[in-house]
Amino acid sequence: MREKKTQQETSIGTKSVWAGEREYLVHGATQVPVVLSVAYGYEDMDEWYDVAIGKKPGHIYGRNTNPTVNALEDKIRILEGAEAATSFSTGMAAVSNTLYTFLVPGDRIVSIKDTYGGTNKLFTEFLPKLNIEVTLCETGNHKEIEAEILKGCKVLYLETPTNPTVKITDIARMTKAAKKVGALVIVDNTFATPINQNPLELGADIVLHSATKFLGGHADALGGVICGPKNLIDKVYHYREINGAAMDPMAAYLILRGMKTLKLRVTQQTESAMKIANFLQKQDWIEAVYYPGLESHPHHDIAKKQMKGYGGMLSFALRGGVDTVRSFLPRLQLANRAANLGAVETTYGPARTTSHVECTPEERSAMGIPEGLVRLSVGIEDVEDLISDLEQAFSYLSGK
């Protein structure tokens, strides 16, 4: 007779649907309820006290914990194979609260030049104000990153693939260097999702997501999540509960619902992105295509080793720069032109108005982001339709 599988033993698509929910289902509900109550009442003063000091499980106040939010944290924690998770109002709150928890004046952090624009602003504007030394290495220059880590640092912060040029950093190799100097390794896994990459398995201490993107998948809720060992997550949770960037329960519900289809969506988006990248490479109007699944990508081998799939994000530079972008993007029909990614609808955005709007043209250029770069978040539409939409937009450019 076959043994019954525990939920932990199921595969990731099954976990996306079922994991983390059971203990939150009440009154026979099959879906996690949205608990909007701000506070939780107690008749018994001793029980209230025990819950308040964390001796007993339960909820006190919505800025600290909420059952709907907890269900979402549990689901993501299980998908990332982590001991603990905590959540935030946005992805940027996840980044900033995590960094502010672990860094104090006089510390040093090593990262890469190509992180998401908001994260990059923390590195270039806010952390230096606190006398935290920030060293940003050339993304993909593993020798330089290793050398900077080995000089000593408190935190190594990675994002791979990067936004928007999908550069890849070898997580296992960089983690090995970080362990030598006792640095904490944080990896932003927003682009890959737990379907395509598991940084904790590669040695990272904390994995971070903007849940606004692929996890939610429907561009209708903001959120951020981190996962890792309980002792580290508890520290960040404490910082967040006091600083107040708690996730809204309605957002948690929407992201939780979106996550039921995470594997289906991301698998489809990954397959379609590969086909679109191959198509784009052959177009006369294209100067460069950035996609880690292409053999021409400088770190294709590392991506192949550490990712299960190359993901639904790619970018391309159009010949003629911003002027061509101005004519090309409005011509597309199956497209949101918006500052978001990871949704079911295909979304295009120039880096200069989306991911790196906070940066000056000079800063973007230093990061290797051409002004005519377009970020493409592939949706779940039929890929033949997406390609024929691109075809008609290219032929419009040629006929102009």
For position 67 contacting ligand PLP by CB under 6 A, the verdict is no
Handedness of CA 355, 361, 364, 368 (dihedral sign): positive
Site string for ligand PLP, 148-187 (x = CB under 6 A): -----------x---x------------------------
Site string for ligand PLP, 338-377 (x = CB under 6 A): -----------------x----------------------
For position 91 contacting ligand PLP by CB under 6 A, the verdict is yes
- Residue 42: active-site member: no
Residue facing ligand PLP at closest CB distance: 91
Looking at residue 61, what DSSP letter applies? B
For position 145 contacting ligand PLP by CB under 6 A, the verdict is no
Residues forming beta bridges with residue 318, ordered by sequence position: 286
Q: Which of 280, 241, 243, 287 is nearest to 376 (CA)?
A: 280
Q: How far is CA 372 from the centre of its chain?
A: 24
Which of 210, 269, 270, 346 is the binder for ligand PLP (CB under 6 A)? 210
Q: Which is nearer to ligand PLP, 51 or 110 (CB)?
A: 110
- Residue 213: active-site member: yes
For position 222 contacting ligand PLP by CB under 6 A, the verdict is yes
Which of 92, 112, 187, 215 is the binder for ligand PLP (CB under 6 A)? 92
Q: Give the SS3 label for residue 136.
A: strand
Q: How far is CA 274 from the centre of its chain?
A: 20
Burial level of 180, CB count in 10 A (0-12/13-18/19+)? exposed
Which of 62, 67, 118, 217 is the binder for ligand PLP (CB under 6 A)? 118
| C-alpha torsion 22→28→31→32, nearest 10 | -60
Which of 62, 140, 217, 224 is the binder for ligand PLP (CB under 6 A)? 224
Polymer length of the chain: 400
Please tell me the count of residues contacting ligand PLP according to CB under 6 A: 16
Residues forming beta bridges with residue 336, ordered by sequence position: 347
Amino acid at 198: N
Is residue 73 within 8 Å of residue 212, measured between CB atoms? Answer: no
The binding site for ligand PLP (CB under 6 A) comprises: 90-92, 95, 116, 118, 159, 163, 188, 190-191, 210, 212, 222, 224, 355
